[in-house]
Structure 1
Amino acid sequence: MNAHLDALTPSIVWRHFRTLCNTPRPSGEEAALVAILEAWADDQGLAHDRDSFGNLRICKPATPGCEQAPGVILQGHLDMVAQANAGHAHDFSRDPISTYVADGWLHADGTTLGADNGMGVAAILAVLEDPSLTHGPLEALFTLEEETSMGGALNLAENWLKGSLLLNLDSEDRGEVYIGCAGGADVVVDAQLPSAALRDDEQLLDLALTGLKGGHSGMDIHQPLGNANRLLVRALRTLEGFDARLVSYQGGTLRNAIPREAFAQVALPSDEVDAALKALGDLEATLRAELGSGDSGLALSAARSTGSTQAEPLTLDASAMLVAALHAAPCGVERMSADVPGVVETSNNLGVLSLEAGRLHLCALVRSLHDTAATAMADRFQALFGLIGARVRVENGYPGWAPNPGSALLATFNKRHAALFGKEPAVKVIHAGLECGILGSKYPHLDMISFGPLIRGAHSPDERVELDSVDEFWRMLHALMEDLAQKS
């Protein structure tokens, strides 16, 4: 499948990306791909091993004469975000990703593409394969479960990697190089809330908020995008004026993807239904006006339920208490950086929210350039949802990556970029959670940078990669490897 990828240039990179597209690899299900890469390494005569978590390392000796060059670690993650458009049947555990080219970009058909971080992984494999490349000692590090928990990086074996320079190939902007990133943590909220039987005078309404673009909860959090959970909660808040009680809720699928859709069921007095439907219609117009062209596809629909009437809504007080807490919860950009202009300092994404049979579950992802600010944001969640008796825990915390503008590796990259493309790259700090912060905490001697091709819409079915930027990315990586091979 995806044979058309073999016709793209640079073919050595796209051929490996085709393998990634054809091999299902959602987070936590990377084993099949690891086995393929190990077999490929054997065919190439390259040594490989895994740590106790399952992270894969493939090693290649230096080109003869370059043995004294600093060891380079090329790093990327094997897993991809699994998101599909509503109504698009796709089993990410079994089905390959179907791709197509349009207007100079590679897209997937109705799903995430996996260019994040498949392009980086493909480029690393191309470096290992390319017989024309002059290089020092190489280690290719492929981590697991980055998209769901940073599990591979967090559990990476210590005293395993030998290199002193690390190239993370998980960035998504052309002509830029990253030297710092945000840290973060998951905030998980669970509660069992009181309910009461559906009354004879109540009608069930099914609500749906759809049509949003979604996006990456780090890199896109500052964009004028709607969060489906945030917006549907506003609808629930509106319905409180009609004595609505929340029955069920399902919004978002990943804590690191801005939710595109959310669905809820409520019960309200039958004689209030018409007025409630009108209020929701008015709210839809209001939300569309607020979002404007930034997220113009929003649709808010409501209809009388034709399903079972055995549902048991929350009590009126419990429903109001939950909706109030969700309405007050931090969402989006909290603060912009005072030291790095144009960069988000602290944010939160209301990523996954569900309510079923009175059981509430919320998973939010807080991020910050300052670990203390991420901790403070998580503590706000604990304080807020503690007021409604919920259990709140903070999980999967990972550190940020402190910028080093004086990096020798950065200087080499800048010089080579200027020689190739006529200008130095923009040096950036990213609000996303690159694995560099975690890797640096385990291997503090590493000099690190991150770069990659131009990817847009990551973590959503709009994900796409610009073809020309992949060629530029490969040329830059190839030339940088040869530059580093000359150092000692």
Structure 2
Amino acid sequence: MNEHLEQLSPQPLWRHFRTLCNTPRPSGHEAALVAVIEAWADARGLAHDRDAFGNLRIRKPATPGHEEAPGVILQGHLDMVAQANLDHPHDFTRDPIATYVAEGWLHARHTTLGADNGLGVAAALAVFEDVSLKHGPLEALFTLEEESSMGGALNLAEEWLDGQVLLNLDSEDRGEVFIGCAGGADIVVEAQLPTGELGDDEMALRLSLTGLVGGHSGIDIHRGRGNANRLLVRALRALEAFDARLVDYHGGTLRNALPREAFATLALPADEETAARERIAALQQELRTELAGVDEGVTLALQPLMSPPAKALNAHASRMLVAALHVAPCGVERMSLGVPGVVETSNNLGVVSLEEGRFHLCALVRSLHDSAAADMADRFAGLFDLIGARTRVENGYPGWTPDPDSPLLARFRRLHQRQLGSDPAVKVIHAGLECGILAGKYPHLDMISFGPLIRGAHSPDERVELASVEEFWALLRGLIEDLAESRVA
């Protein structure tokens, strides 16, 4: 499958990306891909090993004459975000990603593409089999579960890697190089809420919100796109005027993706159905007006259920839960004053569910300041304490402190000017690159992050610009050869 990828340039990189597209690899299911890569390394006589968590390292000796050059680590993550359009059944643990080219961009059919971070992994593999490339000692570090928890980086073995320089290949902007990123943590809220029987005068209806663009909860958080959980809760608030009670709720699938769809079952007095439908129709128009230019495709629907459930939250619990979700922090909290144009602190209401009174929420807070992330978590705890919920913080990871005086950065800027005739924009990103975690474990590493132009990451709109991949490949090869001419200080 995806044979057309091998007709693209640079061919070695795209050949490896085809392998990644054809090998299912959602977070937590990277074992098949690890086996494929290990077999590839064995066939080429490349040394490889894994740490206790399962992160994979491949090594290649320096080109003769360049043994004294600094060791270079090419780093990326093997997993991808698993998101598909609602009307497109796709088993990410079994089905390959189907790709196509349109107007200079590579897309997937109705699913995420996996360019994040498949192109970085493919580029590293292509470097390792490039016999024409001059290089110092090379390592490839492929981490696991980056998209779900940063688990691979958080559990990375210490005193395992040998290199002095790390090139993170997980950025998504052409003409830019990243030297810092936000830290983050998952905020998990859980509660068992009281339920009651449906009354004889009540009917059950299904409320759905669909049609949002979605996207990456760090890179796209400032773009003004709708969050399906926030917007559906707004609809639930509107329906409380008609004595609606929540039966169940399912919104979002990943804490690091802006939720595109959310669904709720409601118990509603039968004689209020017409008025409720009218209010939902009016709210849909309000939302389309508010989101014009970014998410005007938002669609609200209210449909009766043929088989009504037996129970719903009692009226008080339903109102308290909806009120708490309505005021929960969501979106950009503060822009950075120290790094103009960069989001400092944000929160994504990523996954919300309610089933038989069991409530679960997983939000992802990001910040350039660990203290601000901790404060956001504390605000969630204070808010959801009011409904008797329990809040905990999981999978915390540090940010990556920028080093504008990095020798590696200076080298990359010179190379960029020489190859492309322009200076790269030096940036700090409001996404969770693994560099901050790696820096904590290997503080001596000099690091930068760069990559091709990817848009729509973490959504079925994910795509990569083909011309930017050629540019990325040339920069990567050029930087490795440039470093091969230097010596370890």
TM-score (norm 2): 0.99
Distance 1:294 1:51 in 2: 43
Amino acid corresponding to residue 442 of structure 1 in structure 2: K
Secondary structure, counterpart of 2:405 in structure 1: coil
Distance (Å, rounded) in 1 between the aligned partners of 2:485 and 2:378: 49
- In the aligned structure 1, how far is the partner of 2:340 from the partner of 2:475? 26
Q: Residues 35-50 of structure 1: matches in 2 within 5 Å?
A: 35-50=35-50
1:303 CA displacement: 1.4
- Give the 5 Å matches for 1:215-234: 215-234=215-234
* Structure-2 residue corresponding to 1:57: 57
CA positional deviation for 1:23:
0.3
Query: Partner of 1:293: helix, strand, or coil?
Result: coil
Q: CA deviation at 1:309?
A: 2.2
Describe how 1:314-393 pairs up with structure 2 within 5 A: 314-393=313-392
Residue deviations 1:65-110, cap 9 Å, x none?
1110111111000000000001101111011100000000000011
Matched, 1:407 2:406: yes
Indicate the residue corresponding to 2:77 in structure 1: 77
CA distance in structure 2 between the partners assigned to 1:313 and 1:89 by the alignment? 30
Q: Deviations over 1:379-403 (max 9, x none)?
A: 1111111111001110000000000
| Cα displacement string for residues 425-464 of structure 1 (whole angstroms, at most 9, x for unaligned residues) | 0000000000000000100111100000000000000000
> Number of residues paired by the alignment?
487
Note the C-alpha offset of 1:412: 0.2
CA distance in 1: counterparts of 2:129 and 2:309, whole angstroms: 61
Which deviates further from its counterpart, 139-148 or 292-301? 292-301
Distance 1:36 1:253 in 2: 28
Partner of 2:31: 31
Matches within 5 A, 1:267-346: 267-306=267-306, 308-346=307-345
2:483 is aligned to 484
For the residue of structure 2 that corresponds to 1:313, the secondary structure is strand
Matches for 1:78-477 after TM superposition, within 5 Å: 78-306=78-306, 308-477=307-476
Structure 1, residues 92-147: CA drift from partner, whole Å, max 9, x if none? 10111000000000000110000000000000001111001000011100000000
- Post-superposition shift, 1:304? 1.7
- What's the offset of the Cα at 1:310? 3.2
Q: TM-score, normalised by structure 1?
A: 0.99
Q: State the Cα distance separating 1:311 from its structure 2 match.
A: 3.0
C-alpha contact 2:72 2:139 (8 A) present in aligned 1: yes
| Residue type at the aligned position of 1:361 | H
Q: Distance in 1 between matches of 2:288 and 2:333?
A: 23
Instruction: Quote how far apart the aligned CAs of 1:224 are.
Output: 1.9
Q: Which amino acid in structure 2 is aligned with residue 269 of structure 1?
A: P
For residues 453-477 of structure 1, give each alpha carbon's deviation from its aligned partner in whole angstroms, at most 9, with x where no partner exists. 0000000000000000000000000
Q: What's the secondary structure of 1:294's corresponding residue?
A: coil
Q: Helix, strand or coil: the match of 1:59?
A: strand
CA contact (8 A) 2:204 2:309 kept: no
Gaps of 5+ in 2: none
Residue 354 of structure 2 aligns with an amino acid whose one-letter code is L
CA distance in 1, matches of 2:378, 2:20: 39
Equivalent position SS for 1:70: coil
1-structure distance, mates of 2:486, 2:369? 34
Once the two structures are superposed, what CA deviation does each residue of 1:248-280 show, in whole Å capped at 9, x if it has no partner? 100000000000000001111111111111111
RMSD: 0.6
**Matches of 1:63 and 1:389 in 2, distance apart?**
63
1:18 aligns with 2:22: no
SS across alignment from 2:300: strand
Distance in 1 (alpha carbons) for counterparts of 2:243 and 2:445: 59
Determine the C-alpha separation between the residues in 2 that align with 1:305 and 1:140.
53
Once superposed, which parts of structure 1, at least 4 consecutive aligned residues long, lie more than 6 Å away? none
Shift of 1:154: 0.2
Contact 1:247–1:311 (8 Å) recurs in 2:
no
Q: Which amino acid aligns with 2:152?
A: G
